[in-house]
Structure 1
Amino acid sequence: MEKSEIDAALTPVARAIKHAADDLLDLRAAALDQSDAGLCVRCYFKIFSQSREQAALQRLRELLEKHLEIVALDNNRRELERIPVFLDADEMESYCLGIMKEFRDNRVYDSPKIDIRFRFKEPLCAA
């Protein structure tokens, strides 16, 4: 994610939701250094819950959906599957419960434990 891309997505949110500065700064920092994709999602839902102008969040939502993914890992931390992030819930708990339900009901893996987490997509290699 480029700094200009992140700032362009956050600017309309900062203008529309003045009291979300801490969450916006946390999201920006995590996105810039790609340190914690889960924090980006958590901050997005906190900002979403405070917003009366959902349209201001559209560019941010698109940016996160473009650059984040959900990955399932087995108990040896081997990747089992990647799925796209679609921030289509009203709050993080129901979003995460929906993802867990999807994996529980519609997947079969030969592993006693599945770890599901958010992560930044790997950049495409230049040809």
Structure 2
Amino acid sequence: MESSEVNELLSQARPQTSEGADLLLDLRDLLLNDGHPGTCVQCFFSLLGNLDRPGSLTPLRIWLEEHLEVAVRINGETRERFPVRFGKSRNLQDYCENTFEFIRSDRSYQEDKIHLSFQYRVAMAA
């Protein structure tokens, strides 16, 4: 991602605390350097608590939902991928719990151990 694109994406986010400013800088660095997608999501949810106007994160939320996906892995094998959709999740834990609940109730995986991870959509990685 180009520096100008990242700057535009984050331009409306105005942190109200020094912690929020640090998170925004961390997120900027992650986006510029194709950082770990899970860390990007973690920064996003951390910023929600540090910004006075959550709507200022709308461009970032849209970008994350367009460019990230959740991979379902069982025994090291990717079984499926689906787009990240934050919905009404209040924080990262809430999002993960909702996602696990969705997988357990909507899928018929028999295995007890299912691993979920964030990743860039396959089309971006190519």
Whether the aligned pair in 2 keeps the contact of 1:67 and 1:121 (CA below 8 Å) is: yes
What amino acid is the match of 2:51? Answer: S
Distance 1:47 1:78 in 2: 32
1:59 aligned counterpart, secondary structure? helix
1:25 aligned counterpart, secondary structure? helix
Taking structure 2 as the reference length, the TM-score comes to 0.86
1:21 aligned counterpart, secondary structure? helix
Aligned to 2:97: 97
Whether the aligned pair in 1 keeps the contact of 2:68 and 2:119 (CA below 8 Å) is: yes
Unpaired runs of 5+ residues, structure 2, are none
Q: Deviations over 1:38-89 (max 9, x none)?
A: 10001000101122212211101111111111010111x2211111111221
Aligned to 1:123: 123
What's the offset of the Cα at 1:6?
A: 2.0
Distance 2:4 2:35 in 1: 18
Whether the aligned pair in 2 keeps the contact of 1:70 and 1:84 (CA below 8 Å) is: yes
Whether the aligned pair in 1 keeps the contact of 2:72 and 2:78 (CA below 8 Å) is: yes
Unpaired runs of 5+ residues, structure 1, are none
RMSD: 2.0
Give the count of matched residue pairs: 123
Aligned to 1:86: 85
Bigger drift between 34-43 and 110-119 goes to 110-119
Aligned to 1:3: 3
Distance 2:30 2:94 in 1: 23
